[in-house]
Chain A
């Protein structure tokens, strides 16, 4: 996949963005969250992309209903390996700790498997749990997010990170914005003016 040449539809925003976009969505209510998530996934699958969802809060029933409405079959997509669904804790806090390196390796593999499958792209959406503040390794969240930006340059997975505005304090939210090049504001995806490139965010 070539990040530079390909624009994709995120499903929940009008504008198309480059393949491998890394955006954050600070959502105010669960409806806003679920709407973006469902549209993001179904759009990717209809594009033929590989899609993955890491969330504690979305139910398979809601996914199945949405997919069905979109002409997709959750079972088929999963069976074919085009779609993966997992809980946030299971993915991010395997063995009870947050390991940025492991997560980056997962992301890299996710991209490579999609390419190997001949798919035009790969996308992932995940909701971070505020529990990360108490998880060993949780303080490396922003490091991880910043290093994702580096990874995505060569492994362009389109990633959307969802954060609950009610679960994280304002300062943390600003820090979250600092490590995401794009941000979702009132349903639109815009360049994040608070973004600090990883070379600046993670010195050395």
Chain B
């Protein structure tokens, strides 16, 4: 049986509807199930199902119609239709074939869509995985960067708190790293140091070329960097600072690429070392001077005794010789030579601080002002003498004659240092020194002083000359021009008066002597009223005590010639025996100071008890502390320096005998 009018419209409508709705179904199974169930509504069909078999050559049972579902080479099985009325069905077979084709299209589209979606999902997964990976890598990189930054900051903190200077240079000597200590020392912020040439920034100009050369050789491998070395750098203050450096060479690919250096500022240590060396040198010099002084004093003492004999006998002989005779001239020459020698020994004693001095409380301004006329004559007309007295100057206690020696010797020294015209300046000022001031100079002591300055604009002295300046017999002048004792004398006098002397000089820049004399708190001592010169001859009994035979004989003869009765003793014991046994009055004791058994002062003590009105005159070429402390006489104690001339002895004896306040035996 067939469809009499061809395929029915409602059936065709179903087939179209199946095709339309099948596209909305979610999957292949649902589509095929929907289509197959729908085909059961086609006339002549009792059932329909989907079969995966696609081999068209397989044996097909009768009563079934197969409709392959394929598109090109893509096959999705086939729809199998069971027929109960093939005649009625045949009219729809072409439509079902079309339907199968559309199902194939649908399924293929679904497959392509699934593939595409699968690819998209896979791509999304890959993108997601890659994104995760990149995110993780980015996170790790950020963490690593953060850690690197933190470590950099930590390293910078370490650099900044380090007491040492840290500097890194590249191969061209430019600064790539500098820490806070380095910036502080150079006096610049880091941005004014980084990238700049180290040698231009920090190295003193006179050393830049040599250090740059050394650095260059290190960078080219021609030299090794010393691990430790010292050098000066220019600090931001402009001063040079000494730094102890420790360096290592940076290498890149085995080649030098810069240096990393740490440094410690050792300037203060260096200064302390230099200061210590200077003080040690000054101390050694002072000790040397002390030794020389003791030697000189010893020599002068012994020499003085001999000079005393020579001078005394020369004088006595001159009195007895006719001046017209040649012998008189000879004797005069002997006397002159002995006198000059006595001056020399006197200077040596002054240097050795063995002069016996009679200090007085003075206003230096008054004393110096009184010497200006003499000093101007001394230095000559071509040299200007300037006088700068200090205001409200403190008092000092000094033997005026010693002050005279100081100024004379310094002005002579200044005169000789000035070639043609020039200037010498004498100034006074009050001065208080503290421990800090004294730490810079050996031999200085804290306290209040009057400073006496003698300055010239002469040729100055170099360091070598300065180091020997106060040594006796040291001189820069030619032979026959000076004894070399002038400054030694000044040195000894200042030391004896518990002061100290300093000198500043540079070759070609003049010299300045600064003498510090201790301040005396008191009143100016009035000058003793001028007494008329005593008469040369006298009368009275003198007890002469001297252990040196030559001096003893010479002095005795001098005194006898002047009309005195002289009792002579060679030892203190003999003197006491003589004094005990002498029935008359002994007017004067003339005694050496240093003698065996007892010194002159002790002897005087004994004799005064025997002869209360006894007056005393001590003589010596070598004053120990027995007369006064450091040779400074107490008021009323009389002394005559050996060697002495006949007239000096006569004047002194007369003066003592006529002295109203007399002796002091205590």
Contacts and interface: CB of A to CB of B under 8 A. Distances in A.
A185 interface: yes
Contacts of A174: 33-34, 37-38
Contacts, number: 53
A22 to B, nearest CB: 17
Contacts of B292: none
Contacts of A172: 33
A185 B33 contact: no
Nearest to B33: A170
A173 B13 contact: no
A193 B37 contact: no
Nearest to B15: A193
A165 B26 CA distance: 7
A171 B24 contact: no
B29 interface: yes
B38 A169 contact: no
B17 A173 contact: no
Interface in A6-62: 26, 28
Contacts of B10: 193
Contacts of B41: 193-194
Nearest to B37: A174
B17 A194 contact: yes
A70 interface: no
A160 to B, nearest CB: 17
B24 A170 contact: no
Interface residues of A, number: 16
Nearest to B14: A193
B439 interface: no
B380 to A, nearest CB: 127
Interface residues of B, number: 22
Contacts of A165: 24-26, 30
Given A170-B32, A173-B34, A193 B22 contact: no
Contacts of B34: 169-171, 173-174
B31 interface: yes
B20 to A, nearest CB: 6
A185 B20 contact: yes
A169 B21 CA distance: 13
Nearest to B32: A170
Contacts of B22: 170
B36 interface: yes
Nearest to B40: A174
A169 B20 contact: no
A175 B14 CA distance: 13
Contact of A26 (B11, B21, B35): B21
A168 to B, nearest CB: 8
Given A169-B30, A170-B31, A171-B33, A28 B24 contact: yes
A116 to B, nearest CB: 39
Interface in B508-534: none
Nearest to B9: A193
A30 to B, nearest CB: 13
Nearest to B38: A174
**Interface hub of B14, B34, B36 (most chain A Cβ within 10 A):** B34
Nearest to A166: B26
Contacts of A177: 21
A185 B25 contact: no
B617 to A, nearest CB: 142
Contact of A185 (B21, B26, B31): B21
A170 B17 contact: no
Nearest to A28: B24
B113 to A, nearest CB: 14
Interface string B1-25: 0000000001101100100111011
A111 B494 CA distance: 145
Contact of B14 (A171, A185, A194): A194
B13 A170 contact: no
Contact of B30 (A170, A175, A185, A186): A170
Contact of A171 (B11, B21, B36): B36
Given A193-B13, A193-B14, A170 B20 contact: no
A174 B47 CA distance: 14
Interface in A153-204: 165-166, 169-175, 177, 185-186, 193-194
Interface string B312-335: 000000000000000000000000
A185 B23 CA distance: 12
Contacts of A194: 14, 17, 38, 41
Contact of B37 (A166, A171, A185): A171
A169 B17 contact: no
A96 B231 CA distance: 103
B114 to A, nearest CB: 15
Interface in B177-233: none
A7 B36 CA distance: 35
Nearest to A178: B41
A193 B38 CA distance: 10
Contacts of B33: 169-172, 174
B435 to A, nearest CB: 97
Nearest to B17: A193
Contacts of A175: 37
Contacts of A28: 24, 26
A71 B482 CA distance: 138
B24 A26 contact: yes
A169 B34 CA distance: 7
A48 to B, nearest CB: 34
B7 to A, nearest CB: 13
A166 B25 CA distance: 7
A28 B24 CA distance: 6
Nearest to A173: B34
B48 to A, nearest CB: 10
Contacts of A171: 33-34, 36-37
A28 B38 CA distance: 19
A174 B34 CA distance: 6
A26 B11 CA distance: 20
Nearest to A29: B24
Interface in A75-133: none
A17 B41 CA distance: 25
B16 to A, nearest CB: 9
A181 to B, nearest CB: 13
A174 B17 CA distance: 11
A171 B31 CA distance: 8
30 contacts: A26-B21, A165-B26, A165-B30, A166-B26, A169-B29, A169-B33, A169-B34, A170-B25, A170-B29, A170-B30, A170-B31, A170-B32, A170-B33, A170-B34, A170-B35, A170-B36, A170-B37, A171-B34, A173-B21, A173-B25, A173-B30, A174-B34, A174-B38, A175-B37, A185-B17, A185-B20, A186-B20, A193-B10, A193-B11, A194-B17
Given A169-B29, A172-B33, A185-B17, 16 more contacts: A26-B21, A165-B25, A165-B30, A169-B30, A169-B33, A170-B22, A170-B31, A170-B32, A170-B35, A170-B37, A173-B21, A173-B34, A185-B20, A185-B21, A193-B13, A194-B14
Interface of A: 26, 28, 165-166, 169-175, 177, 185-186, 193-194
For the complex of A and B, the 6 pairs showing the least CB-CB separation, nearest first, are: A170-B34, A170-B33, A174-B37, A170-B30, A171-B33, A171-B37
